[in-house]
Amino acid sequence: MAQALLNGYKSLKYSFLLTFGVLALLGASSNLFAQTPGSGLEYQNPSVIIPVDLSGTMNRFNIVVADFLAAKGPEKAGGDAPVLAKRLSDNLELTGLFRLMDPRSSLESDPRAGLTEAPEINYGPWAQIGANFVIKGVVVEAGRNLTLEMRLFNIASGRQMLAKRLSGAAKDGRAMINRFTNEVLLAITGVPGVFGTKIIYATGDRQEKSIALTELGGADEPTILAGFRGGPSTQPTIGPGDKTAWIHRNGKKWELLVNGRVIYSGEPVIAPAFTPGGVVVAGLSGRTSTNLAMFDGRSPKVITNGGGIEISPSFAPDGRMAYVSDRGGTPGIYVAASPGSPGARLSPGGKSTDPSWSPKGDKIAFVIGERDIAVINPDGSGYQQLTGGQGRNTHPSFSPDGRMIVFSSTRSGRDQLYIMSANGDRQQVLNPALKGSQTLPTWSPDMPNLQ
């Protein structure tokens, strides 16, 4: 039964209205990227923040990413510039908020207009093609170093919203694009993007599972955290501070690892998750039942006792715990005010598994019938099914801004990671280049640092 529930380890997630007021200025850059002193490039607050409503069908904004130019003259930049421009376009497309337009459809006469030491941008040609926003960029490659100057223009208001000059090693060009994407989203919606944030998942066949880590907008090759060493590694999770945990089968023993270090070895342990404080909670099997236990000392502390199987914990930011229990006969989602307090069934009738809280704690995602993802409010209202009729969709996990959900789906004929908007829109493969089976994804709760 525990294995059956484990195989059904899935969830679903939520939607909400993002409406924000005046933004703070963005200034200093990270150690990786240094803004050029005296460049005059700084963040400018938009006069209007565009609200993003994730509770229904979203409007998509028309945006143009113009070809990146060389430092001098009207020529397109060579080298990695076309790849970086495409990466920026792909990032924006992946958010589900934008519709990419062909820059060649504009009749703009000067491609450098609006950039440094160039005439002011002419908004008319862009307005004529229906563009809402335009991004222009200049690339300077000098040996192993790279400088990107990028600007965001609001066509309707006729103003520049954002200007950044980022410098660093050429190998960090992708990270620079991710950072700029995050700031574009901050400028337009009031909430920064989450490109560069981490997603942990299991890969490989059932007997030789490994743990891999990728990033939104990251490289095509993931980082392997744990390979097959005497037994499979699976059921990964990632928590505050990007702490990682997973389960390893070492012969007849089950091991729970945190940041690669074994913290428990013994009876079967299932589906770990982190509390907001960074403590691991997981299902721990005994002779007659499987209960949730907290692993924060020398020995696990059991915190549920339903007499059957209770696994798959997930925590709201305020400490409320959702989990799976079969105490009612059919596995369902239960919610407790805190670990160890009594839980009450939340999900509707039928089998439901793998709960997952939204970052704001106002939605819980879960899996229904071991095939589809849905969301529900913590009070039982607002039920919404997000997937249907496209393979087996399991194990949803929210992005740290709550605007996207990563999940595993078999709709292509194999297990792959997909992402969708939090209302179910724009379901697409996370990274087509990722190889092998991809299951059990969890998105880090940490937002990226723009400073």
CA 213 to chain centre: 12
Q: How far apart are CA 230 and CA 262, in angstroms?
A: 14
Q: Which tens digits make up the pLDDT trace of 258-288?
A: 999 999 999 999 999 999 999 999 999 988 8
Residue 407's H or E segment, with its range, is strand 404-409
Name the β-bridge partners of 366: 11, 374
Locus of tokens 């993003």: 52
Q: How far apart are CA 214 and CA 195, in angstroms?
A: 11
Q: How far apart are CA 204 and CA 409, in angstroms?
A: 15
| Inter-residue contact 162 to 192 (CB < 8 Å) | no
| Inter-residue contact 418 to 430 (CB < 8 Å) | yes
Q: What string of DSSP letters covers 64-112?
A: EEPPPBPSSSSPBP-TTHHHHHHHHHHHHHHTTSEEEE-GGG---S-TT
Q: What is the pTM of this model?
A: 0.85
Give the single-character DSSP code of 207: G
Locus of tokens 């923040």: 49
Q: Which tens digits make up the pLDDT trace of 42-70?
A: 334 444 456 665 555 567 899 999 999 98
Structure tokens given for 73: 């003259």
For each of the domains in the chain, give its residue range(s) and CATH number, in order of start.
2-16+196-443 (2.120.10.30), 21-189 (3.40.50.10070)
Nearest one of 428, 432, 404, 433 to 418, comparing CA atoms? 428
CA 245 to chain centre: 18
Nearest one of 38, 34, 55 to 362, comparing CA atoms? 55
Q: 6: number of CA atoms within 13 Å, CB side?
A: 18
59 residue type, one letter:
N
**pLDDT < 70 stretches in the chain:** 1-58, 73-75, 451
Q: How far apart are CA 289 and CA 302, in angstroms?
A: 12
Which residues, 6 or more positions from 7, have their beta carbon under 8 angstroms from its beta carbon?
Answer: 370
